[in-house]
């Protein structure tokens, strides 16, 4: 009988409540259900149930093979999360707007929403979000900055451009 074991491959992913992306080795034919189970066992994160692609609103069906769904030339970071959206309050110039986002939403997506909600014109790259005193990079996921909570308050600020 031939050995049918496949070589392990590494997956880079965001995990709700963890600031930096993580990685795990998985068999090439592993499903997203297998990935979740590995995170639950190896990292003790039993609350993790959902898998989302960056900025997507719908969870990925867990029967899909991980490495068949990840497309290198259209790379979107996989985000593992506890069920449910995160309630986001964004403040700007003394006003506040609220919206629920998936944990996989990037700061860029939230900036674009906030610009629309506050009726702001300009380029999204002229704005950024802050959590307390921390400036948040545009590509960071909401679930990475919300510290495992399902409610967060962010401030929309203008980027300071150096004078040359």
CATH 3.10.20.90 placement within the chain: 8-81, 86-158
Topology given in CATH for the domain delimited by 8-81: Ubiquitin-like (UB roll) (3.10.20)
For 59-79, b/e burial (b = at least 16 CB within 10 A) is bbeeeeebeeebeeeeeebbb
- Distance of alpha carbon 18 from the chain centroid: 10
Q: How far apart are CA 33 and CA 36, in angstroms?
A: 5
- Tell whether domain 86-158 is in CATH 3.40.640.10: no
Residues 31-75: tens digit of each pLDDT: 999 999 999 999 999 999 999 999 999 999 999 999 988 876 577
Mean pLDDT computed over 23-32: 95
With a cut of 90, say whether residue 125 has pLDDT above it.
yes
């Amino acid at each position: 009988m031939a050995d049918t074991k496949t070589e392990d491959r590494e997956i880079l992913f965001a995990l709700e409540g963890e600031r930096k992306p993580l990685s795990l080795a998985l068999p090439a034919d592993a499903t997203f259900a297998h990935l979740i189970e590995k995170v639950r066992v190896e990292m003790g994160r039993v609350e993790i149930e959902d898998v989302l692609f960056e900025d997507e609103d719908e969870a990925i069906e867990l029967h899909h093979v991980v490495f068949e769904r990840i497309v290198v030339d259209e790379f979107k970071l996989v985000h593992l999360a506890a069920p449910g959206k995160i309630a986001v309050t964004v403040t700007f110039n003394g006003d506040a707007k609220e919206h629920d986002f998936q944990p996989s939403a990037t700061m860029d997506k939230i900036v674009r929403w906030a610009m629309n909600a506050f009726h702001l014109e300009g380029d999204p790259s002229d704005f950024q979000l802050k959590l307390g005193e921390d400036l948040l990079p545009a590509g960071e996921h909401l679930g990475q900055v919300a510290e495992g909570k399902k409610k967060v308050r962010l401030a929309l600020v203008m980027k300071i451009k150096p004078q040359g």
